[in-house]
Amino acid sequence: MPSESSASANRSQHIPPRALLLLVILTLVWGTNWPLFSLAVKEVSVWTFRTVSCLSAGLLLLGYVKLRGHSVRIERRHWKVVVVSCFLYMVVWNITSTYSAVLLPSGQASVLGFTMPLWAALFSWLFFREPLRGRMLIALAFGTFGVALLMVPSFRDYADAPLGFVLGLAGGAGWALGTIVLKRAALQLAPSVITAWQLLITAVPCSIGAAWFGDWNGFVPSASSIAVIAYITLVPTLIGNVCWIAIVGLLPTQVAGLSAIAVPMVAMVSGALVHGEPLGVTQWLAMACTGTALGLLLLRQSAASR
């Protein structure tokens, strides 16, 4: 007969059906997003792109919450967590991931960014002594091997663009730390409200960067660039971030991080379709490792629900 502590551990690792649906949506909207980064910054800078995207998405989301008759207010005691997690996740991630995707092939940049589950597991163990054991540890090992497989053939690109490599890893580490801060605070706030304010906060340093680099010169990009930026604003930035914040509230940090590791797989396929980026045996083997890791998480969910 299972002990009370083991039953509690099983419940903590349980993946609710709603989280699974959100993960499917997140994987699709974020995975297909990466090949579009280089198109979004073809005529405008990274700073301008992120300012427009985050500001527009944040205002639209706040407006949506208000139209539904809900409060958009965040109590003063929660602001420190919201701002700190926002800086570590959204500010660091939005800038570093975009620059990395410009300097490197989009699929390879996404692999670096999605080392996030590895950073999350490391930081959770190092700072909060959260244990890694059993099926979760095996799943993490498969996920790590999958990421490593994708990195090996890319070392020449990393050597040619070391800044893209560093920025990609920094984005993954910042995302992990921001997620841990938000998760451990356990704020009783709607994911849409947290996401809206964090997007607006992110727009502030991005707009300062745009002004600093002299981006505000009255230039109007082409219709195709505007269309790409509008899509990224509405789908990956707005919908994707709401899904992620909701997932963080539903799952343990390590499980949430590892469950998002399928995103670079979709990004690799999307990069091959959009930009003709390589998609060979190594990439497919990496996808198989990732699928195994996700399967182990789902098996845990099935066992915990019995």
Beta strands in the chain (DSSP E): none
> Running DSSP on this structure, what letter comes out for residue 186?
T
Over the chain, what is the mean pLDDT? Answer: 80
**CB 176, CB 244: distance < 8 Å:** no
Q: Which of 224, 232, 240 shows the shortest CA–CA distance to 53? A: 232
What pLDDT does 216 receive?
Answer: 66
Contact 113, 93 (CB under 8 A): yes
Q: Which residue has the tokens 């005691």?
A: 77
134-171 residue pLDDT tens: 777 787 788 778 777 767 766 676 677 788 888 888 99
Q: Of 306 and 230, which is predicted with more confidence? A: 230
Residue 219 per-residue DSSP state: -
Q: What is the pLDDT of residues 26-44, one digit of tens each?
A: 888 888 887 788 888 888 8
pLDDT surpasses 60 at 12:
no
Question: pTM to 2 decimals?
Answer: 0.79
Confidence of residue 3 (pLDDT cuts 50, 70, 90): very low
Determine contact, residues 174/77, Cβ cutoff 8 Å. Answer: no
CB 83 within 8 A of CB 178: no
What confidence score (pLDDT) does residue 40 get?
A: 87
- Which of the 8 DSSP states describes residue 262? G
Instruction: For residues 179 and 253, give the distance between their C-alpha atoms in angstroms, rounded to a whole number.
Output: 7
What's residue 103's pLDDT?
83
Measured CA to CA, the distance from residue 135 to residue 75 in angstroms comes to 39
User: Between 107 and 235, whose confidence is greater?
Assistant: 235
- Asked if residue 110 has pLDDT above 80, the reply is no
